[in-house]
Amino acid sequence: MFTGLVEARGRLVITPAPHTASDGARIVVGDVPFAAELAIGESVAVDGVCLTVVAHDDRSFTADVMAETLRRTTLGRLAPDHVVNLERAARSDGRLGGHVVQGHVDATARLIAVRTEGDARILRLQVADAEAAALIVAKGSIAVDGVSLTVSARRADWFEVSLIPQTQRDTDLGALAVGDEVNLETDVLARQLRRLLVAGVGAADATRVAPTASLAAAGTGLPTAAPAPIDAGVVTTDAIPADPRDAEDDRAVARAVDALRQGLPVLVADDERRENEGDAIISAALATPHWIAWMIRHTSGYLCAPMPDAIADRLALPPMVADNRDPKGTAYTVTCDAATGVTTGISAADRCHTLNVLADSATAPDGLTRPGHVVPLRARPGGVLERAGHTEASVDLMRIAGLPEVAAIGEMVLDSGEMMRFPDLVRMGDAAGLPVLTVAQIARWRERRERPADADAVVAPVPAATGDWQEVRA
């Protein structure tokens, strides 16, 4: 076990074989101030990778590296004379600083931006591995090249860490340049909790108490908000992916929920046999003028606000027409604006304010004027399992994320004026750094986690409205 507090720096004398090699390799690290104190079999973290000393002298040590380690970490790509961070294993009689680090690298990340704030150096790192990315949380601990750091900011496809001057001087992180690659080890508690959630709770030990996973994070990462159950009378069952498609559904929903909780849009495509179109979806409660302007720019500009019947009823938003003949059965209500805080109501800032007001549980009917420039929609109670539309998908996602169940949606269009199809959405998602998923993935994800209560089924963790731990026989 390590602490992430770098003890010294060394220099690679002999580098590993290329990471494509099928066999392992042997490395020698020189200029090691504590080399003479090492013992054969002792563990040393090299840029965050736990290695075993197989030989040493007064200034260097030798370690063997397995082929899997060469592929997973940066060790297989380092050049001679590369400076590496070093830490010996923690002693039981010493103080434990930093955080618990195992030296088991989860993934690598690439430095995509650097900026300074006073004396601090802010590194923005991009993680390609979706499973590792799902375990990174704002203000959580992370080891970067073996250095214990705190995640200062987190978005859908990147995170940031801040380096104080001492860390810049005493580790190799101070010399990183954009494009450089680093090793990542996520928080050990997050990893173990994820494994627990994937494994589920067995019937053989009915007294075990498992942490309640948010619907968004079950089987993929740590919950960061406590959602309400999707509906009374349904419970969450085992979330063990049965095939690769299930695992991808888990990752897609987790990425979407993570983005939504940060106030970012997600791009959702429906079935090719239905509309074969995609919508940008964002939380109405967390929407900002910036992202509403982005949605207006990249959609038809006709923004709607899906919500459950109960919220529409509370806000006195009746159906737009008595005889709805919309081919897809979209349940439009009368349009509205916020009663205060807007001018004409049409600008991105004004529509954003109206969306925030719609999502505010304290808003009364007189907090809105009718007609207006935002179009509320009533979602079916059963969500995407009742109607496979963007209206229901958006409310399901809000509910899964534990957010107020009002969304903002707009249909994505190309600059040519044509509707975006799934490949177009993927390209847009890649360009904007936004998650892309499908209505079908949300439906499959829900179907695997919900079924009528059955007292004879196995014990499984289910989400409680309070966010507390809860054991339910499902």
Tell me if 423 sits within 8 A of 203, measured CB to CB: no
Place of tokens 């390609």: 128
> Exactly one of 275, 277, 350, 405 is catalytic; which is it?
275
Q: Is residue 302 among the annotated active site residues?
A: no
Q: Is residue 336 among the annotated active site residues?
A: no
d(CA 61, CA 277): 59
Q: Is residue 82 among the annotated active site residues?
A: no
List residues bridging with 363 in a β-sheet: none
DSSP per position, 304-325: EEEE-HHHHHHTT--BS-SS--
Q: Is residue 56 among the annotated active site residues?
A: no
pLDDT in tens, 39-81: 999 999 999 999 999 999 999 999 999 888 888 899 988 888 9
Q: Is residue 337 among the annotated active site residues?
A: yes
- Please say if the pLDDT value at position 201 is more than 90: no
> Exactly one of 258, 337, 350, 450 is catalytic; which is it?
337
Quick one: 426 exposed, middle or buried, by C-beta within 10 A (0-12, 13-18, 19+)? middle
Structure confidence at residue 70 (pLDDT):
87
- Please say if the pLDDT value at position 461 is more than 50: no
**Span 205-221, average pLDDT:** 35
* Confidence category of residue 376, pLDDT binned at 50, 70, 90: very high
Structure confidence at residue 456 (pLDDT):
40
pLDDT in tens, 106-154: 999 999 999 999 999 999 999 887 778 878 888 889 999 999 999 998 8
- Please say if the pLDDT value at position 455 is more than 50: no
- Please say if the pLDDT value at position 420 is more than 90: yes
Q: Is residue 373 among the annotated active site residues?
A: yes
d(CA 215, CA 102): 29
Structure confidence at residue 146 (pLDDT):
95
Structure confidence at residue 275 (pLDDT):
64
> Exactly one of 131, 157, 238, 279 is catalytic; which is it?
279
**Span 286-292, average pLDDT:** 95
Structure confidence at residue 67 (pLDDT):
86
> Exactly one of 56, 298, 353, 390 is catalytic; which is it?
390
Quick one: 18 exposed, middle or buried, by C-beta within 10 A (0-12, 13-18, 19+)? exposed
Which domains are seen in the chain, by residue range? Answer: 8-88 (2.40.30.20), 107-190 (2.40.30.20), 240-447 (3.90.870.10)
DSSP 49: E
Phi, psi of 247 (to 5 degrees): -65, -40
Better-scored residue on pLDDT, 463 or 273: 273
Structure confidence at residue 72 (pLDDT):
87
d(CA 149, CA 142): 5
Q: Is residue 390 among the annotated active site residues?
A: yes
Structure confidence at residue 242 (pLDDT):
56
**Span 150-168, average pLDDT:** 89
Which of 154-158, 160-164, 194-198 has the weakest average pLDDT?
Answer: 194-198
d(CA 133, CA 135): 5
> Exactly one of 238, 298, 304, 405 is catalytic; which is it?
304
> Exactly one of 157, 350, 373, 450 is catalytic; which is it?
373
Structure confidence at residue 71 (pLDDT):
86
The mean of the pLDDT values for the chain is: 83
pLDDT in tens, 215-251: 333 333 333 333 443 433 333 334 444 566 788 899 9
Tell me if 130 sits within 8 A of 199, measured CB to CB: no
Structure confidence at residue 133 (pLDDT):
83
Residues shown for the chain: 474
Tell me if 34 sits within 8 A of 88, measured CB to CB: yes
- Please say if the pLDDT value at position 380 is more than 50: yes
Q: Is residue 411 among the annotated active site residues?
A: yes
> Exactly one of 47, 411, 424, 450 is catalytic; which is it?
411
- Please say if the pLDDT value at position 96 is more than 90: no
**Span 252-269, average pLDDT:** 95
d(CA 38, CA 58): 9
In 3D space, the residue among 239, 223, 286, 265 whose CA is nearest the CA of residue 394 turns out to be 265
Cβ neighbours, 10 Å, residue 319: 13
Structure confidence at residue 261 (pLDDT):
93
